C-alpha cells in the first residue's frame, strides 16, 4: 500500500511550526529566572553546551526517525523495532500529561488578556476591585469554575487549529503567529528596558556568577538539562511527528540547528522583556519563576504603569498566549497523528482528523480539569504523592518520561537500529544515517559527532538527569 502522507507546504512553514512548538511557556517563565538564579552567563554557557551535545542529537534523531518512517512515535517504533514500541506509547502519554497543565496556564493568559481589556475601558471585569495583583490572582485561582472555563477556551482554540490539518491549520497559523510574536516581543522589550530601575533585572540575568555552579554543579546541570529539553520540545516524539510530515528533500541538520538557535534567542529575549520590568517595579526579590512572575509581579507592573499599562498588559499576555498555543498544537498533533497512523495501518478508509482531534481534546480536557480545579493547590484537592496536581503531571512527563524517552531513542539509534539495518541489508538513506549522502542529497556532515552523542553522551546525560530527579523527589541526598 502506498503511504501518502500530508506534507508541510514549505520548509519555512515547517520551521515556523517547529520553532512555534519549541517557543512556549518554558522560554518565557522558566528560562530567564533559571538563568539568573543559577549563574547568569555561566548558566547560559552550560545551557549552550548541553544544547549542542545533547539537544542537537536528539532533535536530529527525532526529525530523522520521523521522516524515515513517515509516522508518529508509536508508528515509528512499531515499524523499526518491536522492542522499543512502548517508548512511542510513553511519548504519546507524556503529551497528555504536559497538556494537563499547559492548557490551564494557557487559559490563565486568556483570563489576563480579558482583564487588561477591562482595565483599558475601566470595565467591571478589569482588575479594579482588587488591592493588588496578588489578591487578584488569589481570587482567580480559588474560583474553579472560572479556571475550567478559560481552560476550555484555550483548548478549543488549539483544537480548531489542529483540525485544520498540517498545512491548512498548523502551518498557516504558525506562519503568521510566529513573526507576530517576534514583533510583540520587541515592543515589550523596548518598554521594559526603558523603565526606571530596569538595569537591575538585566544584571540579575546576565551577571556571570560562578558560585551556584561551584556550590552545586550537579543541581545546576540538571536544571539546565531539564530546561533545555522541555524548551526544545524533545523526548516525547513531538519533533518526530513534525518530521514525519517533512519532505525528503529538506536538510535536517540545518533545520535542527535553526530550531535550537531560534528557541535559545527567544528565551534570552524573553528574559530581557520580563526581568527588567519585574525588577523596575518589584525591586529585589521580584524575580520569581512560574505563575507568580507572570501573573502577579508583571500584572503589578502593568497596574503601576498608568493609563498605558493595560495596553501593554494585553499585548504581553497575547504574546504569551500565542507562544503557548503554537506549543499546545504540537502536543495535540502528536496524539492526533497517533490515531491517524493507526487508522491507516488498519486500512480504514474514512479516518477523520477532525474526529480524532476532538477525541484527543476531550481526554486532555478531562485531565486539565483536575489541574484547573486544583488552582495551583489552593482548593484543597487530594495531593497525589504529596504533590499539587500541576507538579504531579509535570514530574511524570518532564521529570521522568521525557528524559527516559530521549535516552532510549539515543540508545536505539546508537545500537539496535544500526545493527539491524546491517543485518537486513536495507538502505536507510532517508534516515540520514546511511552513507555520506542523504536522500535529500545533503552530505551528512555531523555523522561522527551524531554517532558519539547517541551512543555515549545523550544516554549518560539523560541517566544523570533522571537520577537527580529521583534523588530530589525521594530526598536521597546523593547530589
Ligand atoms: N517547548 C514548549 C515550551 O517551551 C513546550 C512543549 C511543546 C513541549 N511541545 C512539547 C515540551 C513537547 C516537551 C515536549 O513551553
Please tell me the distance from the alpha carbon of residue 40 to that of residue 476, in angstroms, as a whole number: 28
Q: What is the pTM of this model?
A: 0.94
Please tell me the distance from the alpha carbon of residue 81 to that of residue 261, in angstroms, as a whole number: 32
pLDDT in tens, 184-193: 999 999 999 9
Q: Provide the pLDDT confidence category of residue 1 given band limits of 50, 70 and 90.
A: very low
- Kindly report which listed range (22-26, 165-169, 288-292) carries the lowest average pLDDT score: 288-292
Mean pLDDT computed over 122-132? 84
Give the CB-side neighbour count of residue 479, counting CA atoms within 13 A: 21
Mean pLDDT computed over 66-88? 92
Mean pLDDT computed over 438-447? 72
Cell numbers placing 221 = 546541570
Taking the CA of residue 324 as reference, the ligand 1 atom at the shortest distance is 15
- For a pocket test of ligand 1, which of 19, 21, 234 has the largest count of ligand atoms closer than 8 A to its C-beta? 21
Whole-angstrom CA distances from 467 to 138, 241, 354, 473 are: 35, 28, 40, 10
| CA 24 to ligand 1 center in whole angstroms | 7
User: Under 8 Å CB-to-CB from 389, ≥6 apart: which residues?
Assistant: 100, 101, 370, 371, 374, 377, 381, 383
| CA 283 to ligand 1 center in whole angstroms | 31
Q: Provide the pLDDT confidence category of residue 424 given band limits of 50, 70 and 90.
A: very low
pLDDT of the residue at 297: 87
Domain boundaries in the chain?
11-53+82-229+254-398
| CA 430 to ligand 1 center in whole angstroms | 26
Share of residues in the chain with pLDDT > 90 (%): 65
Q: Provide the pLDDT confidence category of residue 443 given band limits of 50, 70 and 90.
A: confident
pLDDT of the residue at 349: 84
Taking the CA of residue 323 as reference, the ligand 1 atom at the shortest distance is 15
- What residues are in contact with ligand 1 under a 6 Å CB criterion? 21-22, 24-27, 98, 230-231, 233, 236, 238, 327, 330-331
pLDDT in tens, 303-343: 888 889 999 999 999 999 999 999 999 999 999 999 999 99
Mean pLDDT computed over 390-404? 92
pLDDT in tens, 341-365: 999 989 988 889 999 999 999 999 9
* CA-proximal residue: ligand 1, atom 8 (nearest): 233
Report the Cα 325 to chain-centroid distance in Å: 10
pLDDT in tens, 251-272: 889 999 999 999 999 999 999 9
pLDDT of the residue at 49: 96
Amino acid at each position: 500500500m502506498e503511504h501518502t502522507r500530508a506534507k508541510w507546504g514549505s520548509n519555512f512553514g515547517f520551521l515556523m511550526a517547529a520553532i512555534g512548538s519549541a517557543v512556549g511557556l518554558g522560554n518565557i517563565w522558566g528560562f530567564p529566572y533559571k538563568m539568573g538564579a543559577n549563574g547568569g552567563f555561566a548558566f547560559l554557557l552550560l545551557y549552550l553546551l548541553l544544547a549542542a551535545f545533547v539537544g542537537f542529537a536528539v532533535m536530529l534523531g527525532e526529525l530523522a526517525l520521523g521522516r524515515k518512517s513517515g509516522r508518529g512515535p508509536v508508528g515509528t517504533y512499531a515499524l523499526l523495532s518491536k522492542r522499543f514500541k512502548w517508548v512511542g506509547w510513553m511519548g504519546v502519554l507524556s503529551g497528555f500529561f504536559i497538556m494537563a497543565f499547559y492548557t490551564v496556564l494557557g487559559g490563565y493568559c486568556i483570563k489576563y488578556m480579558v482583564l487588561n481589556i477591562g482595565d483599558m475601558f475601566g470595565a467591571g471585569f478589569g482588575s479594579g476591585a482588587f488591592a493588588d495583583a496578588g489578591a487578584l490572582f488569589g481570587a482567580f485561582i480559588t474560583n474553579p469554575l472560572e479556571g475550567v472555563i478559560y481552560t476550555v477556551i484555550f483548548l478549543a482554540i488549539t483544537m480548531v487549529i489542529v483540525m485544520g490539518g498540517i498545512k491548512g491549520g498548523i502551518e498557516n497559523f504558525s506562519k503568521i503567529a510566529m513573526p507576530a510574536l517576534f514583533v510583540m516581543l520587541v515592543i515589550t522589550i523596548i518598554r521594559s528596558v526603558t523603565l526606571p530601575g530596569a538595569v537591575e533585572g538585566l544584571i540579575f540575568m546576565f551577571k556571570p556568577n560562578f558560585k551556584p555552579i561551584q556550590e552545586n554543579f550537579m543541581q545546576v546541570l540538571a536544571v539546565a538539562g531539564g530546561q533545555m529539553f522541555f524548551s526544545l520540545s524533545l523526548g516525547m516524539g513531538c519533533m518526530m511527528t513534525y518530521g514525519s510530515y517533512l519532505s525528503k528533500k529538506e536538510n535536517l541538520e540545518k533545520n535542527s540547528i535553526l530550531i535550537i538557535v531560534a528557541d535559545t534567542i527567544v528565551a534570552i529575549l524573553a528574559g530581557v522583556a520580563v526581568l527588567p520590568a519585574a525588577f523596575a517595579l518589584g525591586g529585589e526579590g521580584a524575580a520569581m519563576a512560574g505563575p507568580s512572575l507572570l501573573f502577579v509581579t508583571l500584572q503589578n507592573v502593568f497596574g503601576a504603569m498608568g493609563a498605558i499599562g493595560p495596553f501593554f498588559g494585553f499585548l504581553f499576555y497575547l504574546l504569551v498566549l500565542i507562544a503557548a498555543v503554537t506549543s499546545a498544537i504540537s502536543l495535540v498533533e502528536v496524539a492526533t497523528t497517533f490515531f491517524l497512523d493507526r487508522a491507516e495501518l488498519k486500512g480504514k478508509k474514512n479516518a477523520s482528523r477532525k474526529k480524532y482531534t476532538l477525541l484527543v481534546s476531550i481526554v486532555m480536557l478531562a485531565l486539565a480539569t483536575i489541574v484547573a480545579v486544583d488552582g495551583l493547590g489552593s482548593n484543597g484537592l487530594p495531593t497525589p504523592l504529596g504533590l499539587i496536581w500541576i507538579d504531579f503531571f509535570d514530574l511524570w512527563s518532564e521529570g521522568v518520561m521525557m528524559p527516559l524517552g530521549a535516552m532510549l531513542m539515543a540508545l536505539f539509534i546508537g545500537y539496535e537500529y544500526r545493527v539491524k539495518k546491517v543485518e537486513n541489508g536495507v538502505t536507510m538513506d532517508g534516515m540520514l544515517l546511511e552513507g555520506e549522502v542523504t536522500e535529500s542529497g545533503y552530505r551528512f556532515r555531523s555523522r561522527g559527532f551524531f554517532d558519539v552523542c547517541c551512543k555515549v553522551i545523550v544516554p549518560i546525560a539523560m541517566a544523570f538527569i533522571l537520577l537527580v530527579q529521583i534523588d530530589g523527589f525521594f530526598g536521597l541526598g546523593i547530589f
